Amino acid sequence: MTKDEIRTAIRYLLQETSTDAGSLLPSGDVKLDIFIDWAAEQVVLDLVPYMPEVFLTTEAMNLTADEPDNTLTAEFLQIWGIYESTSDKNPRMIPFIPADEIGKYMTVGQTAEDPIGFTLIGDTVRWIPTPSSDKSSYCTAWLITMETADVPDAGPTYIPRLAHKLIAIYASMLICKMTEKDLGTLGKLYEYMLNKVIDVYAYRIQNQPRFLKDSFSESKFLSTLDPALHDLFGKGFFS
C-alpha cells in the first residue's frame, strides 16, 4: 500500500472521511502521517521476533589501524551476525563478547592483525583487540533493520505488502486513544491480521525440514580429539 492508500484506509476504519476544518482528520495529512509513522514502527517490532530475515540488510565494515570503534551507518534493531569476508576463505563469524568480559580477551592497549571478537557500545561496534592495520571491507554486518522514520510515499520498504494493513489498523487505534474514542473491534482485528501474517510469512521455506543444530562456530570446528573425552569448546563438564 502507498502512504496515501494507508491514509484512506484509516479514514474508512474510523468512519471519518471528512477533511473539513475542525473534523477529526482535516486535510493536509500532517496529523495523520504522525500516527502512520508511529504505527509502522510498532508493526516492525511486532513482526521482527517471528520473521527477522524479512528485515535483514548488510553493510560492509572496514578495519582502521589503532582505531577500536566502527560506527555502523545503517539504523538497526539487532545484529544478526558479523562475518569476516576475506577472499577464498569461509565467512568466519566474529563472536560477540559482552562488554563486562573484555578483560578476559585483551590487555590494555593490545592490538592485533585480526580481531577475535567485538562488543557493542550503543550503536558502535568495538573490536577486540584493536586492529593493528587498515583493511578495506574486512567483514560484513548482517543487520535487522527497521523502516525509515517517515514512511515513504510509495509505502513501507521492508514490511511485507500483506502486513501494510496492520499499519492502518494500529494507527487507527492510536488515534482512538488520543481522542478517547471507543476502539471497538480494532484491537481484535489487529491481533487477527497480525497472526495471519505471521502464520504465513514466518514459515515461507516449505520444501525442506528444519532441525535444531549446533552453532556456526561449533559446526566449523575440526579436531581429531574425541568430544566424548575432551572439552573441545571450553564449556566445562557441567555446562
Per residue, the 3-state secondary structure of 121-151, as one string, reads: ECCEEEEECEECCCEEEEEEEEEEECCCCCC
Average pLDDT over residues 187-198: 94
Average pLDDT over residues 29-51: 93
Of 112-116, 139-143, 180-184, 187-191, the range with the lowest mean pLDDT is 180-184
Vertex 15 angle, CA 9 and 20, to 5°: 95
For residue 37, pLDDT beyond 70: yes
* Phi, psi dihedral angles at 170 (to 5 degrees): -70, -40
Domain boundaries, given as residue ranges, for the chain: 3-51+160-201, 52-145
Q: How far apart are CA 177 and CA 53, in angstroms?
A: 32
110-169: pLDDT as tens digits:
899 999 999 999 889 999 999 999 999 999 999 999 999 999 999 999 999 999 999 999
Q: Mean pLDDT for the chain?
A: 86
Does the N-terminal peptide bond of residue 129 adopt cis geometry, omega within 30 degrees of 0?
Answer: yes
Average pLDDT over residues 171-198: 92
Q: What is the pTM of this model?
A: 0.78
First to last CA, the chain: 49
Average pLDDT over residues 182-191: 92
Q: What is the pLDDT of residue 125?
A: 95
For residue 238, pLDDT beyond 50: no
59-70: pLDDT as tens digits:
999 999 999 999
- DSSP E strands, the chain: 56-63, 69-71, 76-84, 111-112, 117-121, 124-128, 130-131, 135-145
Of 36-45, 103-112, 228-237, the range with the lowest mean pLDDT is 228-237
1-11: pLDDT as tens digits:
999 999 999 99
- DSSP E strands, 130-214: 130-131, 135-145
Ranked by mean pLDDT, which of 18-27, 117-126, 198-207, 214-223 comes out on top? Answer: 117-126
Average pLDDT over residues 172-186: 90
Of 19-33, 87-101, 185-199, the range with the lowest mean pLDDT is 19-33
For residue 205, pLDDT beyond 90: no
Average pLDDT over residues 12-32: 77
Q: What is the pLDDT of residue 65?
A: 95
